[in-house]
Each structure stands twice: as structure tokens, then as C-alpha cells.
């Protein structure tokens, strides 16, 4: 395994682990934390708890989003190095990128303290559900992209061996 392979592997790990943290945190918030505190805490206690969670969680979200951008750009760059065929890989990447930007928007907006996002935060359950759904679609697209990439690598290896 050469240095480029190790760097590619580390980039992939960073990408996957960052996505797991952001999406896992959203799923925990939506399906465990929100229902657990609903009706149990008075409004003032609930608001204080939310503020404390957001103060800590947004640092994780912002770091993970930055790592996803960096590692995603590097992983896309690697697709050019491996001569992955543009079709269907690039359109799938474009769709994945647009969906990821939307997921990033919701992740950041829902952890924001800006008054501009207050209406979005007021419907947090709905937007967390949208965020999680989009993330699932991204994961499915990623699986197809990985298969296309592996198929291209196998075809290239088979073609080189047959020459």
C-alpha cells in the first residue's frame, strides 16, 4: 500500500465517520431526545437544556461539515485519478453534492442561535426528519457510486491484463 492509497483510505474514513456523527446525532435528537423530553420538562428547563446541547453540538456539526467538504472534494479528485467513467458517476456525484449541501444547511440551521433560523428551529422535528431522509438517500447514492467506481477499476484491470 503506497502513500496515496493510505491517504485515500484515511480520507474515506474521515468522510464516513463525519457523516455518521452528523446523521447519527440528528437521528438521536429526532427519535430519542425530543420525544423523551416532550411533556416532561417545563418550557424554561427545556429551553435551557436545548441551549446547552446546541452550544456543544454545533461545534461537532461545524467540524464534521468542514471535514465532509474537504474529504469529499479529495475523494472526488481521486475519481479522476482512477479514470472513473463520467457517466453515470458524475451526475450521481452532482445529485449527492446538492443533497449533502441541503443536509449541511439543516444541520447548521438547526444548531444556530441566529434569529433568522428561529422558524426553522420551531419546526425542528419536521426538518430533522427531512435531514435524516436526505442523508439516507445520500447513503444509497454513495453505494451506487462505489459500485460504479469498483466496476470501472475492475474493467480497467481486466483490460490492462488482456493487453
121, burial (CB in 10 Å: exposed 0-12, middle 13-18, buried 19+): middle
Residue 130 has a pLDDT of 99
6-64, pLDDT tens digit by residue?
999 999 999 999 999 999 999 999 999 999 999 999 999 999 999 999 999 999 999 99
Residue 163 has a pLDDT of 62
Residue 151 has a pLDDT of 86
Q: Do 74 and 6 contact (CB within 8 A), yes or no?
A: no
pTM greater than the 0.95 cutoff: no
66-97, pLDDT tens digit by residue?
999 999 999 888 888 777 788 888 899 999 99
Q: How many CA atoms lie within 13 A of 28 on its CB side?
A: 8
Amino acid at each position: 500500500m503506497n502513500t496515496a492509497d493510505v491517504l485515500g483510505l484515511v480520507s474515506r474514513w474521515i468522510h464516513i465517520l463525519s457523516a455518521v456523527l452528523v446523521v447519527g446525532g440528528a437521528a438521536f435528537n429526532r427519535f430519542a431526545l425530543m420525544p423523551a423530553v416532550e411533556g416532561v420538562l417545563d418550557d424554561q428547563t427545556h429551553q435551557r437544556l436545548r441551549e446547552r446541547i446546541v452550544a456543544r453540538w454545533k461545534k461537532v456539526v461545524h467540524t464534521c461539515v468542514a471535514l465532509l467538504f474537504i474529504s469529499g472534494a479529495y475523494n472526488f479528485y481521486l475519481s479522476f485519478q482512477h479514470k472513473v467513467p463520467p457517466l453515470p458517476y458524475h451526475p450521481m456525484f452532482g445529485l449527492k453534492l446538492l443533497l449533502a449541501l441541503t443536509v449541511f444547511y439543516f444541520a447548521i440551521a438547526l444548531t444556530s442561535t441566529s434569529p433568522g433560523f428561529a422558524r426553522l428551529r420551531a419546526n425542528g422535528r419536521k426538518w430533522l426528519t427531512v435531514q435524516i431522509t436526505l442523508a439516507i438517500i445520500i447513503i444509497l447514492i454513495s453505494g451506487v457510486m462505489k459500485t460504479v467506481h469498483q466496476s470501472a477499476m475492475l474493467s480497467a484491470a481486466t483490460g490492462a491484463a488482456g493487453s
